[in-house]
Amino acid sequence: MTTDNDPDGQEPQPGSTAYLLQEMQLYGHRPFEDEPDHRPLPDARIAGGAIADIFDAIVSSLIDTRIEPDLEDLAWGIVNVFHRAGERIERELDDNEREQKRLQREQDGSEVRSVELERRIAEGITMLERRDTMEFLRDTAADQFRTHIRKAWLPRSGAMVNRKMLTSAVLDSRRQIDKRSYQDARVLNPDGVRIAFTGGAYFNDHKLIYATLDKVHAQLPDMILLHGATPTGAERIAACWARDRNVPQKPYKPDWDRHKKAAPFKRNDAMLEEMPRGVIIFPGTGIQDNIADKARKMGIRLWDFRRRTD
């Protein structure tokens, strides 16, 4: 048999345009699967009416019949169709977000990369709208389930997110809580330029320490002082300087119970993990030598006062 696409009566070869068109005709094609979808969303009133019609039809046809005992499970399944569809789109959103982050890292200024990222962003926006629509349909169906079955609909497993309940008051409350959490976090981990400080427990030249820290603070007004929290000596003086100058400080106490004799060296590692702009080192012991060697290997600037005698 000959066709318009196949005038000689031969089957199209795999990989050809004719073969692709035949496969699409036979097995269907989902438009907008890998591109932004510019079609409008369903009308809420029409979609809600359709859901109500579905429940009215199935309830009226099965009530007062031998199938009535199965009515609850069937009605539950109708709601679950929309619930599972929303969860599937949520997983697609996760994939889209990971892809966007990858493309952000790979941006090289080329138009190709930029267009690809813009396409992923547009797809993500469409997915958000699809997910919210599925949740709207699920919530509408759940209302019908409660009306006809006299029970609240709940998923068999997992959570049921209801964005319809996100009123302005709830959002304002969450923003206030988030703001407070952010402010509390800033107290414990403030923004600024981190400068590490270390010195021996028996070095007590407070004038030199104050003068040195004042010079650094003049260059870096938003500095944060990291120190080892030794209760005596240079680090104690540095902590007092930070208190007097209202400079945020972040003490790193060695964990003797966990690390035993290695605790001061583990403490050094923890301070350097913060990647400070520089390390101020005053005379001390091998603990100070250790942090100096590690900072030098990491390329961190050193203000080294270990060999000063004046």
What pLDDT was estimated at residue 161? Answer: 67
CA distances from 183 to 112, 175, 193, 243 (A): 40, 12, 18, 20
Higher pLDDT, 288 or 38: 288
CA distances from 205 to 38, 186, 234, 283, 307 (A): 71, 32, 8, 10, 14
> What digits encode the pLDDT tens for the residues 199-228?
999 999 999 999 999 999 999 888 999 999
CA distances from 134 to 53, 216, 287 (A): 17, 58, 60
Backbone angles phi, psi at 58, to 5 degrees: -75, -35
Confidence of residue 289 (pLDDT cuts 50, 70, 90): very high
> What digits encode the pLDDT tens for the residues 69-92?
999 999 999 999 999 998 998 888
What pLDDT was estimated at residue 96? Answer: 86
Rg (the chain; Cα; Å): 33
Residue 238's nearest CA partner among 256, 223, 257 is 223
d(CA 12, CA 1): 13
**Cβ(281)–Cβ(275) under 8 Å?**
no
Higher pLDDT, 1 or 249: 249
> What digits encode the pLDDT tens for the residues 112-165?
778 888 888 888 888 888 888 898 899 999 999 999 999 889 888 766 766 655
